[in-house]
Amino acid sequence: MADWEERFDALVERKTAEAREAAIAPLVTDRDETGDRLAGIGNAWSRAMFGGLFYVSPSASGDLPATNLVFVQSRDGNTVTNDPSTLGGGKVDTHLIYEGLSRVAADAVLVGARTIGGGQFVMSVWRPELVALRAAMALPRHPVQIVATLHGVRLEEDLMFNVPQLRVILITVARGEEAMRVRLQTRPWITPVVMDDPLDLPAAFRELRRLGIERLSCIGGRTLAGAALDAGLIQDIYLTTGTNTGGEPDTPFYSKRLNAREVVRKHGTGPDAGVVFQHLTTRPF
């Protein structure tokens, strides 16, 4: 256990240093049609960097978490790559949007099992000004880590599953829970949410809400994101389009027609010139 704690401390130190040292060029607003229909969050630093308040939806319904989806796509619309930073979203996407405003107000961050590969994946905010914003909203230092897996994941291999101070929830089905049963017994900080059917994400989301998750940020990948969009579980989409072409061909974050409306649009400046940020909402507006 000591070894995992040491690795976690080293990760926190590294991620904090990277975020603190990142020179972020502010975004400039091209469109803001949010009116008073969404809630605005921010502090002086985030407002200066984002070019205003960052908007989040109220909860979709009484028994589901309010859920956003955050993606970076290449200039030609692809999302699959082992290193999404190669898509050209720049530091503003990595440090202000992705590991920042999209999750700063979230109780939990949700990811598909294929995205966490690599063992050192912890979903939190790291930039000190965003850590302060989270604290000002009286939220715990780290969001709950939620992983969706049908087959089950190897709990003994990933840092995220071996640090008792990180609360973890696994969305799975019976065979996935069975595959992880022995290792779950020694990790009481991990809670499985077992669906009767892989298609029953709404039931899993209701259970998340029952477990205290009121606001959730889903980071994909596109398999999980597609299922959540199909099920009508996403209200806000934060989409950054990078300056590079690339990623695996034909891998948009959603392959069907997206029924969503752009309410905010911003563009990057300085080294991030050419980056576009969009906030799309799936709610009737």
Shortest CB 148 distance to ligand NAP, Å: 3
Residue 47 or 114: which CB sits closer to ligand NAP?
A: 114
Residue 104 or 146: which CB sits closer to ligand NAP?
A: 146
Report the residue closest to ligand NAP, judged by CB: 221
Shortest CB 160 distance to ligand NAP, Å: 14
Residue 136 or 174: which CB sits closer to ligand NAP?
A: 174
β-sheet bridge partners, residue 134: none
Letter string b/e over residues 191-201, b meaning 16 or more CB atoms within 10 A of that residue's CB:
bbbbbeeeeeb
Shortest CB 81 distance to ligand NAP, Å: 6
CA distance to 83, 97, 257, per residue, from 245 (Å): 13, 20, 22
Residue 112 or 192: which CB sits closer to ligand NAP?
A: 112
Shortest CB 64 distance to ligand NAP, Å: 15
The radius of gyration of the chain from alpha carbons, rounded to an integer in Å, stands at: 18
Shortest CB 65 distance to ligand NAP, Å: 15
Q: Rounded CA gap, 45 and 71, in Å? A: 23
Q: Give the E-state strand segments of 10-125 in sequence order.
A: 28-32, 39-41, 54-56, 66-73, 108-112
- Judged by the rule CB under 6 A, the positions of this chain that interact with ligand NAP are 71-72, 79-82, 84, 112-115, 148-151, 153, 171, 198, 201, 219-224, 227
Letter string b/e over residues 37-53, b meaning 16 or more CB atoms within 10 A of that residue's CB:
ebeebbeebbeebbbbb
Shortest CB 191 distance to ligand NAP, Å: 15
Under a CB-based contact definition with an 8 Å cutoff, are residues 49 and 26 in contact? yes
Q: Rounded CA gap, 41 and 59, in Å? A: 15
Residue 13 or 248: which CB sits closer to ligand NAP?
A: 248
Residue 7 or 114: which CB sits closer to ligand NAP?
A: 114
DSSP, collapsed to helix, strand or coil, labels residue 7 as helix
Under a CB-based contact definition with an 8 Å cutoff, are residues 276 and 31 in contact? no
